Amino acid sequence: MERKALLRVEDLKMYFPIHGGILGGVINHVKAVDGISFEIYEGETVSLVGESGCGKSTAGRAILRLEKPTSGKVFFKDMEITKIKKKQLRAIRKNMQIIFQDPQASINPRKKLTQIIEEALYINKIVPGKDRRSKAIELLETVGLGKHQADRHPHEFSGGQRQRIGIARALSVNPNLVICDEAVSALDVSIRAQILNLLKKLQREFQLTYLFISHDLGVVRHISDRIIVMYLGKIVEMADKNSLFDNPQHPYTKALLSAIPVPMPGKKLERMVLAGDVPSPIDPPSGCRFHTRCPFVKDNCKTEEPILRSAENLKDGHMVACHYFLDL
């Protein structure tokens, strides 16, 4: 049976204008996301990974239309949402929610927990007024908070508990897709594991689909079904979790995996250390954007942009954008 794509992204670009000169006109652009395409199927978790500044969070915001994409298309349940009007977008937005990195900044500090959850129920007319408080308490208990905490304010909770509040708020509108934007990166390691396990539990209970944005490949390995690796606004490798970790192909992916700490004292690890710094997204390198740091760079890497494609020795769905890999 063919799987159905819940979300489909086609050649998505997100450029931010740079103003300058005497008249303050646009003199250049920051190419944060520069033509990415992928699909997410119902019920799976796809992780978008890469270094800070690679464009992964911007891609998530553009998909949700929190930022208007420069070009490209985003289809949600076969409906293109990149150009629809605000009224239409509001009607489907409850099906697409986001959990932010910083729960303290994304939650109204003046409101009690029940008020934070009830607000979403009221705006979307999901639950009658007399039932909103009980529904809000039910959602808080679902994410591991107690009824006795319902009338407290966000500042009375720890970071992990505030993230649970953010998760409960996202669940309140019965979404199909949840984008987790570095949802655990600000938490302690022990709390991080609890939140990840909670997300997996909720996925099973509510049939959720996740786009999980992170720079931590150790975390990504725990929660993902498929992984997309980004570098400087481009996708460089895409594969299911086991294929990517067992058989990485792109040099950038190999460098990221070699940087994952292994809790085995005394074991020597073979690190792949990249030279130089990440180039500016204002003026990215020609050809392969990774060629300025790649240890396997060849002449055509500097002039020809590699296309994301598969090969006979890879599993279905494992795709790489690399001249070196294709010539092996």
**pLDDT tens profile 111-148:** 999 999 998 888 888 888 888 999 999 999 999 998 89
| Domains in the chain, CATH or no CATH each | 5-20+27-95+175-326 (3.40.50.300)
Angle between helices 159-171 and 189-206 (to 10 degrees): 10
Question: Tens of pLDDT along 141-190?
Answer: 999 998 899 899 999 998 889 999 999 999 999 999 999 998 888 788 88
Q: What is the mean pLDDT of residues 241-253?
A: 92
Task: Indicate the residue type of 259.
Answer: A
Q: What is the pLDDT of residue 166?
A: 92
**DSSP type of residue 309:** B
Q: What is the pLDDT of residue 269?
A: 64
Q: How do strand 226-231 and strand 5-20 relate by DSSP bridges? A: unpaired
Strand partners, 258: none
pLDDT at 209 over 90: yes
Rounded Cα distance, 74 and 97, in Å: 15
Rounded Cα distance, 149 and 181, in Å: 26
Q: Are 20 and 56 in contact (CB under 8 A)?
A: no
Q: What is the mean pLDDT of residues 51-75?
A: 93
Rounded Cα distance, 103 and 100, in Å: 6
Query: Alpha helices of the chain — where are they, by DSSP H?
Result: 56-63, 86-93, 103-106, 113-123, 132-142, 159-171, 189-206, 217-223, 241-246, 251-258, 323-326
Q: What is the pLDDT of residue 268?
A: 64
Residue with tokens 């303050």: 24
Report residue 231 CA to chain centroid gap. Answer: 14
Q: What is the pLDDT of residue 265?
A: 66
Buried b (16+ CB within 10 A) or exposed e, 278-302: bbebeebbebbbbbbbbeebeeebe
Query: Taking the alpha carbons of 202, 206, 212, 217 in that order, is the dihedral positive or negative?
Result: positive
Average pLDDT of the chain, as a whole number: 89
Report residue 72 CA to chain centroid gap. Answer: 18
Ranking 31-45, 64-78, 256-270 by mean pLDDT, the lowest is 256-270
Rounded Cα distance, 143 and 202, in Å: 8
Rounded Cα distance, 268 and 278, in Å: 27
Question: Tens of pLDDT along 294-305?
Answer: 988 888 999 999
Q: For Cα atoms 3, 71, 51, give the angle at the middle one, nearest 5 degrees.
A: 75
Q: How confident is residue 266, by pLDDT bands cut at 50, 70 and 90? A: low
Rounded Cα distance, 54 and 6, in Å: 24
Q: Are 184 and 192 in contact (CB under 8 A)?
A: yes
Strand partners, 56: none
- Percent share of the chain, pLDDT over 70: 96
Strand partners, 7: 40, 76
Q: How confident is residue 326, by pLDDT bands cut at 50, 70 and 90? A: low
Q: What is the pLDDT of residue 1?
A: 54
